[in-house]
Amino acid sequence: MADLTTEEKQELLLDLKRALAMGALRVRAGDRDITYRSREDMKRIIADLEAELDPPTRPASSARLISFHRG
């Protein structure tokens, strides 16, 4: 999938989701015709594409300065 553009990956993701919803294991994306071995393979590819297209953001780190005075 590394040779696909972002747009191609988004299109493939939509095609995979449609095929999965219809129970199909074969997807035609552009000039590619892909047959997956199982629904689990398709789900794994969908998860990979989603992670690649929308990587999780890290929560902003925060630092606190606490000072103590003995008096």
pLDDT of 14 > 90? The answer is yes
29 pLDDT band, cuts 50/70/90, is: confident
Residue from 25, 6, 28 nearest 49 by CA: 6
Cα distances (Å, whole numbers) of residue 51 to 18, 36, 65, 68: 18, 20, 35, 44
> Given this model, what pLDDT does residue 71 score?
65
Q: Model pTM?
A: 0.70
Report the run of H or E that residue 71 belongs to, with start and end. Answer: none
How far apart CA 2 and CA 42 sit, in angstroms, is: 17
| pLDDT reported for residue 53 | 92
Each residue's pLDDT tens digit, 30-56: 788 999 999 999 999 999 999 999 876
SS3 content of the chain, % helix, strand, coil (to 5): 45, 10, 45
